[in-house]
Amino acid sequence: MPVTGEYEPSPSQWVRDQVAEYEESGGERANTLRDTGLAIVIFSTRGNRSGKVRKTPVMRVEHDGEYALVASKGGAPEHPVWYYNLLAHPDEVALQDGPEPFDVTVRQVSGEERRVWWRRAVEAYPSYADYQKKTSREIPVFVATRK
């Protein structure tokens, strides 16, 4: 069952539009990062301060039914806001990769496990490597596992 409660769309218009189109079409439309042709998924979480449901498109990095959620923020010096949502509510997350969302648990990975998932992420979306070069922070990687 998806994360429930009041949904507050992103302040970013393109994110709001992509999430709405993706959900409306059951993942058949708006399922790539703009015009790149590279697949995305949508995840929902609870806001760590507001308590409202938030929905975020991220690059599709899947392996054996698990997914990486890469908190790159384009290589910005700070983490994306959703990073804190996942830390605060790792068991209140849903992921949509196709027609229906499903519940997942997320955990931040480190060490060798992070290195493996980071390689997978860069294979799926090579710009992640550039983003890491732009920032001094290690870009966090979460793994989402179906409940």
11-to-8, 27, 55 alpha-carbon distances in Å: 9, 22, 11
Q: pTM for this one? A: 0.95
Q: Could you tell me which residues are beta bridge partners of residue 67?
A: 62, 144
Q: Is the confidence at residue 54, as pLDDT, over 90?
A: yes
Token look-up 């399922």 returns 31
- Averaged pLDDT for residues 14-35: 95
Q: Is the confidence at residue 2, as pLDDT, over 80?
A: no
- Averaged pLDDT for residues 133-144: 98
d(CA 14, CA 2): 22
Give the pLDDT confidence score for residue 35 in this predicted structure. 82
How confident is residue 48, by pLDDT bands cut at 50, 70 and 90?
very high
| pLDDT tens digit sequence for 61-100 | 999 999 999 999 999 999 999 999 999 999 999 999 999 9
- Domains of the chain, start order: 13-146 (2.30.110.10)
- Residue whose C-alpha is closest to residue 56's, from 92, 86, 99, 15: 15
Mean pLDDT of the chain: 96
